[in-house]
Structure formats: structure tokens, C-alpha cells
């Protein structure tokens, strides 16, 4: 209650999705270089749902920091910040920043649902679990001036009570795909899974008319590509059949406006009726947790639904219905030895799965895996467990050393995303995927532009070898498959770009180059450094990339900005050094110059950190969706 200083009659609510650190799922290269006018893959559906649950006399705004900047001085009474574990650091930073400035703060989303205790000191209120019932309760309590510190969903939400999300508050044109949700929960019991901890094993779903209303809203906004973010869309088979029949009719009624994708379990392959319905409803792809082709590993992790037939046969039967497959794989199961990496590579190659998200086995809090490994003393205390596609994890493997696992994992990705690896998978997929549902989602002119950009920015830089692999993988005699082959190359090269930038160890050459550039910057800015208008430092610690820090204290001139740009751009382009701009003071006449400098650094925004002194918040605008805007913390 301490957080509320006055009780507004029409409270203003700001909901924020914090910036993700880059991961495979960002598809950064594809989104920034190849696909037209896109900034991220999916919008924050949880926030759009919370917005729809908010009383109508409240004013609501959603800011997704992945596609737009967060406001530093918002007009908001309540600020709600969501987040997965991968977003925790930024979510915590935002909550503390706004909390210290007198806003009432609420934490919610996946990670708060899994471990609400981690937010006790960070937010005024924590909303743990599905929000449909407890969020309206919070709003009522807030209006009465008596909000509680914790709202926890202890039962299960009937999805008929979930409203049409406020799609109108999202900037849908900035995402490659919009999202909606039909069901929550999954009937299976994989040992590592947090879904069944959060949403239970009894799938609950919406009615078809409810989905119809959500599709109407998306259609009205011109959306074409839709991702059903269900944990397992076929978890409740009768419900899925009813939904798919409805979707097929909906598509026919409106001249097939949507391309769909979703998540399912591998047993879809044994269900001819469902496969036919998925095709009729225009599902172009499904994401499946295959995890491993080794039956021992699957048995050990209790993923027995994947044991019903040879996984390669299952994959090919799904392809035979024209449906593409994206898949999750895991290495580090108790039965895995150093040979598992080669087995995974062979299976993924033969299956033709291009978007193969391989993760190290990770123990998320409250899962059976976590509890077992804790008992066995095999958890690494303090290790990050939020992002299972980083080259580190929080478990000690059983039949190989931790170092062997990490090295095997890195090498597996490098081999998979070689030019030959990408081409082999395109060929192995298209051989079995005869009549793809996916025929391209863009207009002809856009498709031609995408292909041209792929050739210039993706294929040409790989030289004749890549051009050869690209050419031999194309389905020359089946042009209907061409859009799929092009998209697979875009996805493959985007993942390769990520591997190149993130899976190498910091190079000694970077440290040498950083020292050279540092000396050059010092020389170029000598005059500004001597007058105290600027200062520059370089820090390098073993095992991590060097960091250059440039302090702007005011009293600068146009030469300063010119010289900075000339040196910082090549430094960022040619090394993995990160740069911090600490802006303490800047005269209004230099704002335009600062803006121009930032425009030139934007391409490397992931490695540029900006610290902005508080008095400048209203004067200098930093796009925090591009740069790492460090938020000054102060006590509440």
C-alpha cells in the first residue's frame, strides 16, 4: 500500500515487455536485413490479454521494448512489467527504475509465475500465474487503496473467461507473425517441462466462436501470419478437431486470409485425420519438441509419447501432408555421452529440419528435473537457467564432463549451419515435402525484393562455395517449393549469423584491436580530454570481450562527434568490443550531432550501452529497442 500516494479515479496503466537479449529466436539478421519493415518475431500476447482484463475506465498503454523505446518519464499510475526468465535482468531494472520514481509497480508473466519470491523486493505487487481472475481483483483492490503484495492463481482458469486480447494496443505491423492462444496445459509429463508446472496436465481450451472473434480482430488489422502459442494444440484431441474444422471453414469463408503455425506433440504424425485437418486449415508449420532420436534418452526424461515410432518416419509423414516442421532438441540427458552430438547432427540433417533449436538440458525451478538434480547434488548454484540455447547451463551432466558438453554443443551448431549443412537439410526436407501448404506470405514484389536481398546480403558474402550449395539445393523442377527453400535459407543464415557472433570465445585479436583503437580515440580526442569535456577508458577482463567507455561531460564541439563516429563504427564492425556512452551533459546545439552519431552506431546497438544523466531524460531521446539504455537506479 505504501506505493500509492493518491487514488486516481481513472487510473493510467502502462504495460511493458522488456527488451530480450538476443537469442536464436530473435532471428536478428533475417528481421533486420532481409524481411521487410519488421523488428521482432512475435508480440507480447500476455500483455494484450492483461490489457483486455483491465476495467474500461482505466487508460491502458502497451510498450514492447523490442520494437519501441520505453518512456523514461511516463504518465502512469501503475506500471506492469512482464517477462520470461531471459528477460529477468531487464524486467528487474525497469521495475526498480519506475518504482523509485513513485509509480506503483507490478511484476507478472512466465518467470514471476514460476518464482514469485524473486520479485518480492523488486515490485509493489507480484501477479503469479494466469491473470484472468486475479488481475481484475488487483484492479479493484488498487482502486480501494488496498492492493496486496502477491496475487497467486491457485486453481485453473476457464479459458471461456479469457477475453479477446487488446490487439489494437500492439504495433502488429512490426512483427513477422501475430499470436493467439487456443489452449493451455499439456497431458504429458516430460521431466524437464515447466509448462505442466505452470498450466497443469489437463488442457483447457477456448471455444471456436471465441477464436473466431480473435481472428476477426486480427483480420481487421490486416494480419496474415498467425502463431497459435499453445503448449500443445492437440493436447485435448476432441477440442483440437473442433477447432481445426472451424478454422478450415473460416479460411474458406474469407478466402484463406491466414497462414497458421503452432506447437504440437510428435504423435500428430500417427493421426491421419488431424494431419488432414491441419492442412485444410492452412497450417504451414508446426513446432515439435523432438528432443532426441535416442529412445533411451526419451525414456529417461519421460517423453514416452515420442517413442511410438521411428522419429524420422514421423517427421516424413508430417511433411507428406505439406506441413513444415520446426523443432526443439536437447543435449545433456543422463544417458547422453559425447557421441550424442554426432547422433543429433545425423538425425537433424536427415530430417531436413532447418529451424532446429538445440538446447542444453536446463533445470527450471519447481520442475521434477530440478528437484531430482537437487537431491543428487547436480545443480550448479548461481548458474543462469533461463535461456537453454546459450552455451552454458545449470546442470552437471552424468556421462560426460561439463566442458565436453559445452564444446560438443558449440561444435554441433557450427557443423549444422555450415553452407553444406543448410543445403543438405533443404534438400532432405523438400524430397519428402511434396506439396507445401506454404506458398509465400508476401506480395509478388515483396517476394522478389526478399530474394534479391538474400542473394546480395546472404549468398554473395559466402563466395562461390555458398552460391554452389544454394543453387544445388533449390527445387528447380518444383517451383511451388521455392518460397519454402528461400525461407529455409533465410532462417539457416540467420541462425548461422548468431552462431558466428555468439558461439566463439573472445578472440585475442579483439583485445589487440581494442587497444589500438583506444589509443587512436585518445589521440583524436586529446583536446576534449584535456579540457575535461570527455574521457575514455578501456577495461578488459579475461574470458570476456573488452569494454570501451566514453564519457561526455559537455563543452563539446562538432569535431568531437565526427571523430567519434570515424573511430567507433570500425571498432564495432571489426571487433566484439562493447562500447558505453556515458552522457553526463550535452548542449542543445549538439543534440542533432549526437543523434547522427547514434544512427551510425545503431547497427551494433546490441553492444552499445548508453547511460543518460537524469536531467537529460526529457531532452535526449534514446531508442532503447535499439541500444542498451542503462536505467539509473536509486533507492525507493
Can you give the binding site for ligand SF4, defined by CB under 6 A?
A: 186, 188-190, 193, 195-196, 231-232, 265, 289
- Closest CB to ligand B12 among 171 and 617? 171
26 binds ligand B12 (CB under 6 A): yes
183 binds ligand B12 (CB under 6 A): no
C-alpha 559/C-alpha 163 separation (Å) is: 56
Longest dimension (CA), the chain: 76
Pairing outcome for strands 608-612 and 225-228 = unpaired
Shortest spacing between CB 289 and ligand SF4, in angstroms: 5
- Closest CB to ligand B12 among 118 and 617? 118
Tallying the residues shown for the chain, one arrives at: 636
Q: Which stretch binds ligand B12 (CB under 6 A): 108-116, 276-284, 498-506, 541-549?
A: 108-116
- Closest CB to ligand B12 among 92 and 533? 92
H helical segments located in 54-133: 88-100, 110-114
Q: Which of residues 188-207 bind ligand B12 (CB under 6 A)?
A: 194-195
Question: Contacting ligand B12 (CB under 6 A), which of 84, 274, 330, 568?
Answer: 84
Shortest spacing between CB 209 and ligand B12, in angstroms: 18
Q: What does 126 interact with, of ligand SF4, ligand B12, none (CB < 5 to 8 A by kind)? A: none
402 binds ligand B12 (CB under 6 A): no
- Closest CB to ligand B12 among 387 and 497? 387
324 sits in which H/E element: strand 324-331
Q: Please report the beta strands in 181-303, taking only residues with DSSP state E, as ranges in sequence order.
A: 183-184, 204-205, 225-228, 259-264, 283-291
Shortest spacing between CB 618 and ligand B12, in angstroms: 26
Residue position matching grid coordinates 508446426: 286
- Closest CB to ligand SF4 among 184 and 576? 184
Under 8 Å between Cβ of 147 and 138: yes
Under 8 Å between Cβ of 352 and 314: no
Under 8 Å between Cβ of 405 and 397: yes
Question: Strand, helix or coil at 550?
Answer: strand
Under 8 Å between Cβ of 233 and 255: no
- Closest CB to ligand SF4 among 45 and 608? 45
Apex 352 CA angle, 323 and 413, nearest 5 = 125
114 binds ligand B12 (CB under 6 A): yes
Residue position matching grid coordinates 539504455: 629
Under 8 Å between Cβ of 578 and 609: yes
C-alpha 422/C-alpha 492 separation (Å) is: 6
C-alpha 412/C-alpha 26 separation (Å) is: 20
Shortest spacing between CB 183 and ligand SF4, in angstroms: 11
Q: Which stretch binds ligand B12 (CB under 6 A): 111-119, 142-150, 330-338, 582-590?
A: 111-119
Q: What does 488 interact with, of ligand SF4, ligand B12, none (CB < 5 to 8 A by kind)? A: none
Question: Contacting ligand B12 (CB under 6 A), which of 32, 42, 427, 540?
Answer: 42
**Cell, residue 215:** 481472428
Q: What does 289 interact with, of ligand SF4, ligand B12, none (CB < 5 to 8 A by kind)? A: ligand SF4
Pairing outcome for strands 578-585 and 259-264 = unpaired
108 binds ligand B12 (CB under 6 A): yes
- Closest CB to ligand SF4 among 189 and 245? 189
- Closest CB to ligand B12 among 150 and 467? 150
Shortest spacing between CB 207 and ligand B12, in angstroms: 16
Phi-psi region of 285 (alpha: psi -120 to 50; beta: other; left: phi over 0): beta
- Closest CB to ligand SF4 among 263 and 611? 263
Q: What does 188 interact with, of ligand B12, ligand SF4, none (CB < 5 to 8 A by kind)? A: ligand SF4
Shortest spacing between CB 214 and ligand B12, in angstroms: 11
Q: Which of residues 340-359 bind ligand B12 (CB under 6 A)?
A: 359
Q: Which stretch binds ligand B12 (CB under 6 A): 78-86, 346-354, 436-444, 538-546?
A: 78-86
Question: Contacting ligand B12 (CB under 6 A), which of 12, 25, 343, 432?
Answer: 25
Q: State the helix-helix crossing angle for 558-574 and 591-601, rounded to 10 degrees.
A: 10
Residues 6+ apart with CB under 8 A from 223: 172, 178, 258
133 binds ligand B12 (CB under 6 A): no
Q: What does 196 interact with, of ligand SF4, ligand B12, none (CB < 5 to 8 A by kind)? A: ligand SF4
Shortest spacing between CB 548 and ligand SF4, in angstroms: 43
**Among candidates 575, 527, 525, which has minimal Cα distance to 550?**
525
For 255-260, the CB contacts below 8 A with 24+ separation are 256/282, 257/219, 257/224, 258/215, 258/218, 258/219, 258/223, 258/224, 258/225, 258/226, 258/282, 259/224, 259/225, 259/226, 259/284, 259/437, 259/438, 259/441, 260/226, 260/227, 260/228, 260/284
Apex 574 CA angle, 529 and 581, nearest 5 = 35
- Closest CB to ligand B12 among 388 and 580? 388
Under 8 Å between Cβ of 125 and 107: yes
Shortest spacing between CB 190 and ligand SF4, in angstroms: 3
Q: What does 232 interact with, of ligand B12, ligand SF4, none (CB < 5 to 8 A by kind)? A: ligand SF4
Q: Which of residues 372-391 bind ligand B12 (CB under 6 A)?
A: 386-389
Shortest spacing between CB 231 and ligand SF4, in angstroms: 4
- Closest CB to ligand SF4 among 187 and 555? 187
Q: How far is CA 400 from the centre of its chain?
A: 30
Q: State the helix-helix crossing angle for 134-144 and 45-53, rounded to 10 degrees.
A: 50
232 binds ligand B12 (CB under 6 A): no
Question: Contacting ligand B12 (CB under 6 A), which of 18, 85, 352, 483?
Answer: 85
Question: Contacting ligand B12 (CB under 6 A), which of 18, 19, 20, 96?
Answer: 20
Q: What does 49 interact with, of ligand B12, ligand SF4, none (CB < 5 to 8 A by kind)? A: ligand B12
DSSP codes joined into one string, 548-583:
EEEEEES---HHHHHHHHHHHHHHHHHS--EEEEEE
**Cell, residue 489:** 535459407
Q: What does 58 interact with, of ligand B12, ligand SF4, none (CB < 5 to 8 A by kind)? A: none
> Phi and psi for 577 in degrees, rounded to 5?
-60, 145
C-alpha 138/C-alpha 317 separation (Å) is: 48
262 binds ligand B12 (CB under 6 A): no
Under 8 Å between Cβ of 354 and 488: yes
Q: What does 41 interact with, of ligand SF4, ligand B12, none (CB < 5 to 8 A by kind)? A: ligand B12
Shortest spacing between CB 304 and ligand B12, in angstroms: 18
Shortest spacing between CB 337 and ligand SF4, in angstroms: 23
Binding site for ligand B12 (CB under 6 A): 15, 17, 20, 23-26, 41-47, 49-50, 80, 82, 84-86, 106, 108-111, 113-114, 127, 130-132, 135, 179, 181, 194-195, 229, 231, 359, 386-389
Amino acid at each position: 500500500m505504501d506505493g500509492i500516494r493518491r487514488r486516481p479515479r481513472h487510473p493510467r496503466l502502462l504495460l511493458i515487455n522488456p527488451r530480450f537479449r538476443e537469442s536464436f529466436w530473435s532471428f536478428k539478421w533475417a528481421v533486420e536485413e532481409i524481411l521487410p519493415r519488421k523488428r521482432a518475431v512475435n508480440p507480447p500476447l500476455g500483455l494484450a490479454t492483461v490489457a483486455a482484463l483491465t476495467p474500461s475506465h482505466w487508460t491502458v498503454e502497451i510498450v514492447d521494448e523490442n520494437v519501441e523505446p520505453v518512456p523514461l518519464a511516463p504518465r502512469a499510475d501503475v506500471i506492469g512489467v512482464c517477462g520470461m526468465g531471459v528477460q529477468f535482468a531487464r524486467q528487474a531494472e525497469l521495475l526498480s527504475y519506475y518504482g523509485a520514481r513513485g509509480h506503483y509497480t507490478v511484476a507478472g508473466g512466465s518467470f514471476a509465475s514460476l518464482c514469485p519470491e524473486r520479485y518480492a523486493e523488486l515490485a509493489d505487487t507480484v501477479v503469479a500465474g494466469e491473470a484472468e481472475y486475479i488481475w481484475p481483483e488487483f484492479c479493484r483492490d488498487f482502486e480501494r487503496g488496498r492492493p496486496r503484495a502477491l496475487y497467486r492463481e491457485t486453481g485453473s482458469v476457464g479459458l471461456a473467461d479469457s477475453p479477446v486480447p487488446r490487439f489494437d494496443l500492439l504495433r502488429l505491423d512490426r512483427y513477422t507473425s501475430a499470436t493467439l492462444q487456443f489452449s493451455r496445459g499439456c497431458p504429458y509429463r516430460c521431466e524437464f517441462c515447466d509448462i505442466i508446472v505452470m498450466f497443469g496436465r489437463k488442457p483447457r481450451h477456448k471455444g471456436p466462436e471465441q477464436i473466431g472473434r480473435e481472428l476477426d480482430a486480427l483480420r481487421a488489422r490486416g494480419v496474415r501470419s498467425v502463431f497459435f502459442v499453445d503448449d500443445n494444440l492437440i493436447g485435448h484431441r476432441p477440442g483440437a478437431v473442433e477447432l481445426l474444422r472451424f478454422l478450415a471453414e473460416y479460411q474458406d469463408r474469407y478466402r484463406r486470409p491466414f497462414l497458421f503455425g503452432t506447437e504440437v506433440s510428435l504423435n500428430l504424425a500417427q493421426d491421419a485425420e488431424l494431419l488432414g485437418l491441419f492442412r485444410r486449415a492452412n497450417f504451414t508449420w508446426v513446432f515439435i519438441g523432438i528432443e532426441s532420436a535416442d529412445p533411451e534418452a526419451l525414456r529417461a526424461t519421460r517423453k514416452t509419447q515420442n517413442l511410438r515410432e521411428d522419429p524420422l518416419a514421423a517427421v516424413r509423414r508430417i511433411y507428406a501432408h505439406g506441413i513444415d516442421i520446426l523443432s526443439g532438441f536437447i543435449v545433456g540427458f543422463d544417458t547422453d555421452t559425447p557421441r550424442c552430438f554426432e547422433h543429433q547432427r545425423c538425425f537433424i540433417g536427415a530430417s531436413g529440419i532447418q529451424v532446429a533449436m538445440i538446447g542444453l538440458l536446463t533445470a527450471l525451478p519447481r520442475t521434477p528435473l530440478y528437484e531430482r538434480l537437487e537431491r543428487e547434488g547436480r545443480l550448479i548454484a548461481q548458474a543462469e537457467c533461463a535461456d537453454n540455447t546459450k552455451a552454458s547451463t545449470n546442470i552437471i551432466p552424468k556421462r560426460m564432463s561439463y566442458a565436453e558438453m559445452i564444446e560438443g554443443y558449440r561444435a554441433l551448431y557450427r557443423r549444422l549451419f555450415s553452407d553444406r549443412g543448410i543445403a543438405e537439410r533443404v534438400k532432405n526436407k523438400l524430397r519428402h515435402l511434396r506439396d507445401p501448404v506454404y506458398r509465400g506470405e508476401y506480395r509478388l514484389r515483396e517476394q522478389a525484393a526478399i530474394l534479391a536481398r538474400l542473394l546480395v546480403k546472404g549468398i554473395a558474402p559466402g563466395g562461390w562455395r555458398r552460391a554452389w550449395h544454394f543453387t544445388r539445393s533449390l527445387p528447380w523442377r518444383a517451383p511451388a517449393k521455392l518460397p519454402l527453400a528461400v525461407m529455409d535459407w533465410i532462417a539457416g543464415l540467420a541462425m548461422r549469423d548468431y552462431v558466428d557472433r555468439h558461439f566463439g570465445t573472445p578472440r585475442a585479436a579483439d583485445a589487440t584491436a581494442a587497444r589500438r583503437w583506444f589509443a587512436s580515440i585518445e589521440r583524436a580526442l586529446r583536446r576534449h580530454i584535456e579540457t575535461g569535456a570527455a574521457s575514455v577508458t578501456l577495461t578488459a577482463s579475461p574470458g570476456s570481450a573488452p569494454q570501451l567507455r566514453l564519457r561526455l561531460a559537455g563543452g563539446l564541439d562538432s569535431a568531437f562527434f565526427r571523430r567519434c563516429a570515424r573511430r567507433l563504427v570500425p571498432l564495432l564492425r571489426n571487433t566484439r568490443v562493447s562500447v558505453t556512452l556515458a552522457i553526463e551533459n550535452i548542449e542543445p546545439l549538439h543534440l542533432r550531432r549526437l543523434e547522427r552519431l547514434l544512427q551510425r552506431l545503431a547497427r551494433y546497438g546490441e553492444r552499445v550501452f548508453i547511460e543518460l544523466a537524469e536531467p537529460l531524460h526529457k531532452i535526449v531521446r534514446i531508442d532503447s529497442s535499439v541500444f542498451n539504455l542503462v536505467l539509473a537506479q536509486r533507492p525507493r
